[in-house]
Structure formats: structure tokens, C-alpha cells
Chain A
């Protein structure tokens, strides 16, 4: 089904690929769903075969820290949905970011990152990466030119979120991709909250897409995971900024990844060096759960977006609510960008400000009976969180406000329950927030 009658390659639709990509029937048993290959290692045919595998001169499995059949099925599926050349799955979204930057950065170098990111990413980039002597320069993403102004000669990448967590910020990917291209560095987009169903950053010029598959891709709050997808379009040899891909790799007898693997270079490097030496491989069980989740991604995202819009409208009209930051509302400053980059809906994670500040925010969260108070997003269940007291706690007041996580802010991840029930629960919790404890 890969060609039409004229012989032109015909791309199956998104829904078809969400179910089938990467997972044809098992060639040995005919098993129709992807088997869970719970094995650490794989036998070699002989010493020569082993040598070919270790030299990267043939395709095959060695050890599940590098590759595993169930994990590979997930990688191909995510790559297919994002329109990339390939993918590398990791134990978590944070691991995907670590493995991606590990391929690009050397000590003393820097990268530009949006200052409106998931709080965990702000901490990973600002604190932990600094211990590797990698330096994040944080930039207000609302004016793309801020990235051009902040560039330095040793910047190796630009990092943004397509739909930022938690503030409902939509990023102008196309404009920022142009700035990255002019600087000869890749644009990395975290597409976790939008998912490829709503937004495909590679189509707008992004070079690398990262995911926490824990969220909407898996979708059921039951499996940790991450992935990085490479577009395969970036010319790593256009300058001398990326020696991990263009210079001889001593651990592989002087092989040069870009010369040998061409548009597959980054994915090969992130497995053969990144996963091999940093170690954050995804478990086959989690890959299986995520694969199963992705099969219903299109249906779930439609309902997530519908429910989220209904809840946002309800909150916007509620007397206890100061403001609602959901890009799907016409009144939202990001509404135009949302229509451009995610016409199918603005996702299901957004924030609102409750009247009464920090204490009222805490009260709303603690008063919910249906919405779960926990630190995750992208579950079938509706989730609620007070960022200032949890996910964004490690940040300074100024960083919290810049990230859209001030004291009065409540974050929602709207699930798939009956929307009337979600609204009723929030309504009673908001009512209680008006009363003194």
C-alpha cells in the first residue's frame, strides 16, 4: 500500500500509521500485536556476525541497552507520525533530552532555550546540564527575534516546546526554525503536549523532535518513556560544530557517523553512543504499553481537546477565576498561533488563575474529588496541580512567574471523563476556595 496507481509513493493516513507503523505481524509466529521481547541480549550467528554488529556494518540486535524489537517498533511508529527519518526511544522524556544534547554539545558550549518550558526541563537545563559545562541561555520565545539576538558563536541548538507546559504558550516554530537554519544549528522542539496528531514540528522546519511519551502518546498514565525523532534533514557537515557526528569516533574504529549513515547518522549515534554510554534505555514493557496507547491517539486527542475547550469556557465565565490561559479560547493571545500550528485543537493542558492567590490555589487542588492531584499530564483521567507548590517549587519567584507558574496558578490536564463531571468537580472546588479554612 505504499504506492498509488501511478507508482508515486502514497503515504497512508495518520490514523492508519498510528495503528500499523512499526508493527507488522511477527514473522515467526504471526502474532498480530507487537510481542513484548523481554530479553536483555540476542545470540550471534557466529563470531563474524558478532563483529559486523559491533562494527555497525550490519543491522541487528546485540543488547537491549542499545536496541530491542518492541522498543524499535515504538521508535518507528513515533518517527512515522512525526514525519521523521527515525527515532530513538529512551526511559523518559528527560532522558531523550539528555541523549539529544549529548550528541550536540561539548563542555563549555551553550544552547538557547525558551524560558517558558516545563519546570523539569528548566531545572535539567539550568542546573544539571551546567554540571556537564553545557550552558542554557533562556530566552522569551514570544518574540522569535529574541533567539537571533541571543545567539553566540558556541551555541549548538535552539530548544522550544510547541505547546508549552504549563502556560498554554504556542511557539512560532516556523520563524524560530529560520533563525536556527541561518545559524547552522538544529532546532529541537518538545512536542509532548501537542503530540504529532495536533502539530508536526518537522513540517514547520524543526530538525529534531523530543517527547515524553509518558504523556498523551502513551496516554493512560501507566508507562514512563521518551523519544527523540530526527528529521534526517540537517546537514551536520555544513560547519565544524558537530564533531560527534562528523569526526572519527574512536570507540568505533574511527567511523564517522554522518559519512557512513547519512540521514540516519543522529539516530545511529544516539543509540550506538548515547544509549550505550549514558544507559537510559526504554523497557520493552513500557514500549508495548505506549504502542498500544498510540493506536487510539487520534480519537483521544479529539476528545481531550473538546473537553478542554468546554472546561476552559466554563472557567472563563466563573466568578472565582481571574484568568484562563488556554490557546483554544478566541480571547487568548496565542489563539492565532494555535490556529496555525495546531488547527485540530490546542491540547488539553492549560492553566488558570484562581482569585485569592497561593492559598486559594492550594484549596482548589485539595478540594477536587474527581480530578487527581498529581504531577503528570496526558492521562485518560483529569489531573490538577498547583505548580508553585510542586513542579515549579525548585525555581525562584521570578522564574516561576516567567514560566507561567505564579502563586495563583492552577494547572489542569483534562481527561476523557464525562465533561459535565469534570466541570461539576471544578465548580465545587472553586466554591470551597472562597471559604476560609
Chain B
């Protein structure tokens, strides 16, 4: 299994560059929940985010229909799901990762506080890339200089002019 304590910046950059459509498991219809913040932020960065949450299935969250399970997402309207972002407890991750493999996702991303090495090993064996205990919003913001706007330590030292992502 790959190292899940450290992820090189370039590795995370590559993932965030390659991904276009994200299924968010545990997305909340409540606008001020952490998952809703992440969904709204990723949408503002031009990712398509499909919410998945059995308790909100059929409802519309931020303009997208919510589905009960990853396998319920209709391919004809959603297209290919590149990444599955998981907002669930670590011990509930196993079956979600199995579904992520089944629908042909390339990346499984588990949020801060979520880590399941067994599920990760399975996904990696099936050829998926796995990130655990990180937030794609925070990593996107960190790698694009936005986290620094809040006085956070990005760990990035560079003498190169950052490209404006407009």
C-alpha cells in the first residue's frame, strides 16, 4: 500500500487537475454543514459535484440531484465519476469503496478524520488512487495559495509566480 501519512504536493496536484466529476458521499442538504461548504467550494472551482446521501435522495442540493448510493447515479446524465469524496465514519467506508470500484472511479478521497487502510488497500489493488484524512477543499486552497490568505501555513516555498486560475 502507498504511504498514507504523507502525500507529495505534486501527487495531490495531479489528482485535482485530472478530476472533473466528483461524487460526494455524505453530502448534506443543510447549507451550513461542512460537506456543503466543500461542495459549494469545489463547484466554484468548476468541478461537477454529485451529492450522495440516502436521507436526502431525490432532493436537489446546490443545483444537483442527490442519490441514495453511488450505484444509483445515472451514467447518462452524470457521465463518468472520476472521484468519490467520502464524508462518513471510518468504519462505514468499506462498502462505499466497493461501490466506487464498481462504478469505475479513478480516485477515492476520504475526508479529514476518515481513514480505513483495509478499504484503501482494496481500492489500490483495483487500480484506484486513494487519499485519506485530507480535505480536497483545503488541499486545493493550499496548493493554489488561497489557504495562505487566512494566515495558514501552506508549507509551500516558491520563487515562481503563481498562475492565476482564471
Contact = CB atoms under 8 A, between A and B. Distances in A.
Interface residues of B, number: 39
B11 A59 contact: no
Nearest to A32: B159
Contacts of A86: 150-153
Interface in A55-79: 55-61, 67, 69, 71-73, 75-76, 79
B148 A72 contact: yes
Nearest to A52: B40
Contact of A76 (B6, B8, B152): B152
Interface string B122-152: 0000000000000100100100011111111
B9 interface: yes
Interface stretch (A7-15, A312-320, A393-401, A424-432): A7-15
Interface in B61-83: none
A55 B32 contact: yes
Interface residues of A, number: 54
Contact of A1 (B149, B150, B157): B157
B40 A7 contact: no
B145 A264 contact: no
B149 to A, nearest CB: 5
A271 B151 CA distance: 10
Contacts of A75: 151-152
Contacts of A84: 153
B158 A24 contact: yes
A274 interface: no
A253 B153 CA distance: 27
A75 B151 CA distance: 5
A153 interface: no
A76 B37 contact: no
Interface in B1-17: 3, 6, 8-11
Given A24-B156, A24-B157, A72-B150, 11 more contacts: A2-B9, A7-B11, A25-B159, A25-B161, A27-B163, A59-B141, A60-B146, A67-B151, A86-B151, A260-B37, A267-B151
Interface of B: 3, 6, 8-11, 31-32, 34, 36-37, 40-41, 44, 112-113, 135, 138, 141, 145-164
29 contacts: A7-B3, A7-B8, A7-B11, A8-B3, A12-B157, A27-B145, A27-B162, A27-B163, A27-B164, A28-B164, A30-B161, A56-B37, A57-B36, A57-B40, A57-B41, A59-B147, A59-B150, A75-B152, A76-B153, A85-B153, A86-B150, A86-B152, A89-B151, A254-B32, A260-B34, A262-B135, A263-B112, A267-B152, A268-B150
Query: Sorted from nearest, which 7 A-B pairs have the closest CB atoms?
Result: A75-B151, A86-B152, A59-B146, A79-B153, A57-B37, A27-B162, A3-B8
